[in-house]
A and B are shown apart, each in its own frame.
Chain A
Amino acid sequence: MTDTIGEARIKVPDRISRGDLITVNSIVSHPMDTGFFRNADGDPIPAYFIKQVVVTYAGNEVARFEWTSGISRDPVVSFTLKAEKEGPLTMLWTDSKGAKFKQSVNISFASA
């Protein structure tokens, strides 16, 4: 993975109507090191992973994920969202060193 740690993308459908149950796909670049591997020199690679993801939608927290290093490198997660309001969908990933990575998409409804 050549991307910078914390680079993130969120994908929602192009066309959303009010009331749709949409699928949200997300990915964030992160090594998700378990602490059990060694580098080429034989030195242990310390554990370093995303431990929390907070999802907010139009200003309200709608989901919160607690993770361990058992989630694969460059974590993907998909979930649904009931599109009842227009507004930003924001994901905030926090890693085990306390670094925070944020990404947003705007949920807006297709005009008829």
Chain B
Amino acid sequence: MAGLVAGSTLVNRLLAATRYAAEPEDPEVPNEEVARILERIADGRPIRRGHVSLDMPVVAEDGRVVPIMIETDLPMTPERYVKAVHLIVDHNPDAHLAAFHLTPAIGSASISTRIKMKRTTWVRALVETSDGEVWADYSRVRVSLNGCG
């Protein structure tokens, strides 16, 4: 019985791993700079889709001012909280656009701001929890007017 339970846990884990690996909407890593940024944040941990919502317009008329909202449903308790939110814009000159370091006193990981975008690209929101998980959401934004010069 114990073996069966352990076995099913393993199967679940494998299924979970497969599900993350096969996530069809995960954008490809476009270049070495973005690969380095993702590696620096994840530090060997899997980047999994979930628990994060990246809300951006599908089309940004003016790349100089693109609204962005990042939210998570992860807890903000002293035992477990979102310690950082990273914003990466793949084809911007400075792809790692911002990092927001948070503490439980913030109450919820929910950030809004306005950013510049050079051209049509994927935007990535990565969230690091205090217990070492990395969660992400992605959004592809079409940019009409270059906002980076």
Query: Is A67 a contact of B107 with CB atoms below 8 Å?
Result: no
**A70 CA to B90 CA in the complex, in Å?**
12
On chain B, the residues within 8 Å of A86 by CB distance are none
Contact of B110 (CB < 8 Å), options: A60, A67, A79: A79
On chain B, the residues within 8 Å of A16 by CB distance are none
Evaluate whether A82 and B97 lie within 8 angstroms (CB atoms) in the complex, with A34-B149, A71-B116 already known.
no
Chain A's nearest CB lies how many Å from the CB of B88? 10
**A28 CA to B87 CA in the complex, in Å?**
20
Chain B's nearest CB lies how many Å from the CB of A86? 14
The yes or no answer to B115 lying at the interface (CB within 8 A) is yes
From A79, which residue of chain B is reached at the shortest CB distance? B111
Evaluate whether A82 and B106 lie within 8 angstroms (CB atoms) in the complex, with A36-B148, A66-B98, A72-B65 already known.
yes
Chain A interface residue count: which class?
Answer: 20 to 34
Chain A's nearest CB lies how many Å from the CB of B47? 19
Contact of B106 (CB < 8 Å), options: A32, A71, A77, A79: A79
From A74, which residue of chain B is reached at the shortest CB distance? B114
Complex interface bits, B70-103 against A, C-beta within 8 A gives 1, otherwise 0: 0000001000000000000100111011111111
Evaluate whether A21 and B148 lie within 8 angstroms (CB atoms) in the complex, with A70-B98, A72-B115 already known.
no
On chain B, the residues within 8 Å of A21 by CB distance are 107-108
Evaluate whether A78 and B103 lie within 8 angstroms (CB atoms) in the complex, with A36-B149, A70-B148 already known.
no
Most buried by B among A69, A75, A84: A69
The yes or no answer to A7 lying at the interface (CB within 8 A) is no
The yes or no answer to B105 lying at the interface (CB within 8 A) is yes
**A68 CA to B95 CA in the complex, in Å?**
9
Chain A's nearest CB lies how many Å from the CB of B126? 14
From A38, which residue of chain B is reached at the shortest CB distance? B149
Q: Which residues of B contact A (CB under 8 A)?
A: 64-66, 76, 89, 92-94, 96-108, 110-116, 147-149
15 contacts between A and B (CB under 8 A): A32-B116, A36-B93, A37-B149, A62-B103, A62-B106, A63-B101, A64-B101, A65-B101, A66-B98, A70-B89, A70-B92, A72-B66, A78-B111, A81-B105, A84-B105
